[in-house]
Amino acid sequence: MGTANKSAADTRLAESARTGKGDRPYDIVVFGATGFTGGLTAEYLARHGGKDLRWALAGRNPAKLEEVRARLAEHVPACRNLPLLQADVADAASMRKVAAATRVVITTVGPYLQHGEALVAACAAAGTDYVDLTGEPEFVDRMWLEYHELAQKTGARIVNCCGFDSIPHDLGAWFTVRQLPEGVPLTVEGFVRAGGTFSGGTLHSAVNAMSRIRQSMRASQARKAREQRPAGRRIGSTREKLHFERVGAERGSWAVPMPTIDPQIVRRSAAAIDRYGPDFRYGHYVLVKHLSTVAMLVGGVGAMLIGAQFQPTRKLLLKIKGSGDGPTPEQRSKAWFKVRFVGRGGGKQVITEVSGGDPGYGETSKMLAESALCLAFDAVTADGGVVTPAQTMGDALIPRLQRAGIGFKVLQTG
């Protein structure tokens, strides 16, 4: 896309007047660039961040950071002088240094329940915007409980779930709502299809989250007890059930309820934005062609869930892939995703689609980097707090992603 950021200086000046962040040495710092997805994110910024972008790499191992910088410089010579910051999640002072040095932090260091809180705390205290790619509900709820009020005071926008969890679903639902009438009850259902493989980091985060079901439920309940509900509006689910679904003119598939963090993020965006209407319902599914595949999918997830509860089997699951392992470029080139949304309300129905390539890595790194660029340079909501992607930057981020090759389109209206 080659984002030029021509008004970067003006943006920094305005930001400085509002928060005092405009005079910080960096616009964006990538924390975790020596990891698989972090490296892809750094590569995307090197190629598409624009010549005026002031950015740096951060991590705990200086030698590995230098290797990443050298690899970037092979393709983008200007990266030879890219600043490197030594920082470790176990060293709170180093986290505070990183947060104080930049306007936006990107972090790919997970599992976030184990490694994420120190950086969130530092960014919330410093008024620094933050994006991650977590899909861990407990981490998101705990960060809201601990740091939402502080981030509101400092103006820090703590935006979780800026990868495949949950950008296509959160922004896709928002894109769909924008096609429907205002001021009426709305229902949106999202249907996910994807092809690809997973990295060790994704596996480790999933196993870790599954091992903490009870803790996750407690964090969710504590958040619900404290979180204000929208006055005069209702937000809920469609009470998803397994069913056979035809989305538009497509041949039918089995729609399997998908209990990921994505529907939670969509509903939180709906609670924050009046445009979702007085009564908004969202349902989230993965589409599967054959019942036999449904059985294998449910059985596999069930076995993984049970295995994650016990230390010996949990260790075996974590050995399937190392935390730094990921798919090859050839595997990523064949990966894809499509999320179709069916929205209804006010006598109107609309079908939309969000689509792209490799969902877990190529497109996730793109979404993460564009989210950070959006916070750094675009006109987005000034409200701080632990917020969702659509809540803080939906209208600005969608066109960025479209220019970057991720499709947002209306397929059918009626």
- What DSSP designation does 55 have? E
Cα 368 from Cα 133, distance rounded (Å) = 7
Between the CA of residue 362 and those of 28, 100, 198, 317, 357, what are the distances in Å?
19, 29, 12, 25, 7
Q: What is the pLDDT along the chain (414 residues), one digit of tens a residue?
A: 444 444 565 454 445 434 556 689 999 999 999 998 999 999 999 999 999 999 999 999 999 999 999 999 999 999 999 999 999 999 999 999 999 999 999 999 988 999 999 999 999 999 999 999 999 999 999 999 999 999 999 999 999 999 999 999 999 999 999 999 999 999 999 999 988 766 565 667 678 778 888 999 999 999 999 999 999 999 999 988 999 998 865 778 999 998 889 999 999 999 999 999 999 999 999 999 888 888 887 788 788 888 888 888 888 877 776 665 677 888 888 899 999 999 999 999 999 999 999 998 899 999 999 999 999 999 897 789 999 999 999 899 999 999 999 999 999 998
If asked whether residues 381 and 322 sit together in one domain, one would say no
Phi first, then psi: give them for residue 74, nearest 5 degrees: -60, -30
Is 12 a member of any domain?
yes
The Cα 8–Cα 1 span in angstroms is 17
Question: Residue 297: left if φ>0, alpha if ψ -120 to 50, beta else—which one?
Answer: alpha
Considering the domain boundaries, does residue 3 fall inside one? no
Q: Where are the beta strands (DSSP E) in 52-95?
A: 55-59, 84-86
The verdict on 131 and 280 lying in the same domain is no
Starting at the edge strand found earlier in the chain, the sheet holding 157-159 runs 84-86, 55-59, 26-31, 102-107, 129-132, 157-159, 385-387
Burial 23-41 (b: 16+ CB within 10 A, else e): ebebbbbbbbbbbbbbbbb
The single residue listed with the structure tokens 């995703």 is 337
- What pTM was computed for the model? 0.91
* Domain total in the chain: 2
Amino acid at 269: S
Can you tell me the distance from the alpha carbon of 161 to that of 209, in angstroms, rounded to the nearest whole number?
Answer: 15
Neighbours of 43 (CB within 10 A): 19
Q: Are residues 120 and 151 in the same domain?
A: yes
Structure-token pair, residue 247: 């989305």
Asked if residue 20 and residue 153 are part of one domain, the reply reads yes
Whether residues 315 and 225 fall in one domain: yes
Task: Identify whether 2 is part of a domain.
Answer: no
Q: Give the residue numbers spanning the domain of 301.
A: 167-359+406-413
Burial call 115-142: b when 16+ CB within 10 Å, e when fewer: bbbbbbbbbbbbbbbbbbbbbbbbbbbb
* Residue at 1 is within a domain: no
Would you say residue 341 lies in a domain?
A: yes
Within this chain, do residues 140 and 183 fall inside the same structural domain, yes or no? no
Residue 72 within any structural domain of the chain: yes
Q: Residue 277: how many CA atoms within 13 Å on its side-chain side?
A: 24
Q: Beta strand 348-356 with 336-345: parallel, antiparallel or unpaired?
A: antiparallel
Is the same domain home to 32 and 132? yes
Domain with residue 57: its CATH number is 3.40.50.720
Asked whether residue 36 falls in the same domain as residue 113, the answer is yes
Compute φ and ψ for 189, nearest 5 degrees: -125, 135
Domain contains 44 = yes
Give the C-alpha separation, 365 to 369, whole Å. 6
Rounded to a whole number of angstroms, the distance between the first and last alpha carbons of the chain is 33
Q: Are residues 133 and 180 in the same domain?
A: no
Q: Are residues 186 and 156 in the same domain?
A: no
Could you tell me how many helices (H) and strands (E) the chain has, helices first? 16, 15
Using CA atoms, how far apart are residues 166 and 256, in angstroms rounded to an integer? 18
Contact 11, 52 (CB under 8 A): no
Nearest CA to 340 out of 134, 206, 176, 210 is that of: 176
Q: Tell me what pLDDT residue 201 has.
A: 59
- 124 and 189: one domain? no
- Looking at the fold, whether 140 and 283 belong to one and the same domain comes out as no
- Residue length of the chain: 414
Question: What CATH number should be reported for the domain holding residue 212?
Answer: 3.30.360
pLDDT for res 48:
97
For residue 212, being part of any structural domain is answered with yes
CB atoms within 10 A of CB 341: 27
